[in-house]
Chain A
């Protein structure tokens, strides 16, 4: 994690030096950097723009490109969002999703903090292998697991319950968080703990008063990441939840709003927009944590 912390300093050095030495003219720079970069941004953002503009368009404009420029709205409307909030169970889906995301994030953070502390700081024989085992668990994709997991969930009597999702999501959250936190714990000087041990603190006191306060950035990274991943999860939620009220937003939009042959594009896009907003908002508040956790986890 140290290199991530140092990256703002690194960035300038790494990128500025080749530039100043490359003798390139301004026009060349525009062609080689700004033009492709703006193409990338345009393409990466266009689906969101399209999603947003569709959700505020009245149906007449939505399906008539001859008289209305499709890239703009002449008379914006809140009808689709109103329909979504008052004629469908959308608020319930949002609540369920929030409950599941918060529940599974809390559970995963608890389990992975303890596990990372044990692996990195209690140092027992074979602790690297336990770490490796947890890491390998991350490589098992949900697509392989969902069929047998469905039978396990039925055995536990949790079918069609949000609790099932809270218990199942840690299978991909715990490996990720544990590895992230191992990285953070590594960056905390061991001497601090030794001092506390000499002073007579117990291991749990050390964890609570020294290691955890110092690892707060790591905990935030792991937390927001887990929240995002569980908000976005699809296949388990699709396979384990049957009744409309218990569905999470991604599943519900696809299975409850897509009805018949005529798609309500306005409502569908409004639902997608609203469902993306919480994570997007979260993301805009914690961008740096996202980037550092993404790159930190890859570098480990």
Chain B
């Protein structure tokens, strides 16, 4: 590396223009370096976030500036059965999908942590559902859930003869809800598995050797070594997963658009329906803002809940 740097001092000494000196002035350079990132984030993230909270307290519609109406939007939402329905389904969706993703994803990570041929190829294949655009794989699920030509129904009815009629996946509320949850779990497994696999590979094998010398069973090794050692990374991955599952939009919008009879609306799809499609920006913003308390609570719960357990066990182990 030093060979390439030798030519640079000559350059700097030969032409010490004021621009060069200005850009070498540290405070100026810091401001210049941070300006693009901070600028973009301030204009398109922080400002809209504040604006969203403000809009939630106004009666803005598309094409008309609203006026401040206080808590009216929120009071209306509290009496709106559709909003309650969306809250209910968002919580159910997040709860079941997160549990499924982490149970199956952790299992897959443990499987992938074994030694077998073509391991890296398999790891690459496993990540595919996460790489492909969600909407496009959601369309594949829509087709898989088709009432008449569903391949799952075909398997159960015509091949295995377990059922006599096709399953109506998306036509009735509860099957539709669980179909969406299944699609979400399918899409979420790879991310969880690959992140947890990275965590598993950092656990020192000597811990397992020591435990095995002490006669620990496979379950005990998992329970008292793998699980506690994975706590920090589990906390981070779970926080991310909960946030992005709770605010999910694409899957539901692509497969059911909230139907049948509004039973599968998540808060995000309801906000889109009211705010953009319906033009009631103020009300849509209020629905979006109503997600924030849930998110903060879920984040604090998953992060501090898991992080504290890790800290306690770390101390007990010392």
Contact = CB atoms under 8 A, between A and B. Distances in A.
Nearest to A278: B133
Interface in A173-208: 174-175, 178, 192, 195-196, 199-205
Given A14-B200, A117-B33, A295-B194, A48 B243 contact: no
A298 B114 CA distance: 22
B256 interface: no
Contacts of B244: 141
A44 B74 CA distance: 41
B132 A298 contact: no
Main secondary structure of the interface of B (DSSP, over half): helix
Given A114-B37, A149-B44, A171-B45, A202 B12 contact: yes
Nearest to B1: A192
B191 A294 contact: yes
A205 B125 contact: no
Q: Sorted from nearest, which 10 A-B pairs have the closest CB atoms?
A: A295-B198, A200-B9, A118-B33, A115-B37, A143-B268, A148-B52, A111-B36, A141-B247, A272-B136, A143-B247
Interface in A13-67: 13-19, 21-22, 33-34, 36-37, 40-41, 43-45, 47-48, 50-51, 54, 62-63, 65
Given A21-B208, A178-B37, A234-B250, 12 more contacts: A40-B104, A47-B186, A48-B128, A111-B36, A141-B247, A167-B40, A195-B1, A250-B250, A268-B143, A291-B194, A295-B197, A299-B198
A3 B23 CA distance: 35
Interface of B: 1-2, 4-6, 8-9, 11-13, 20, 23-24, 26-27, 29-30, 32-34, 36-38, 40-41, 43-49, 51-52, 55, 60, 104, 107-108, 111-116, 119-120, 122-129, 131-137, 139-141, 143-144, 146, 149, 151, 154, 158, 186, 189-191, 194-195, 197-205, 208-209, 212, 218, 221, 233, 236-237, 239-240, 243-244, 247-250, 253-254, 267-268, 271-272, 275-276, 281, 284-285, 288-289, 291-292, 295, 299
A152 interface: yes
Contacts of B129: 44, 47
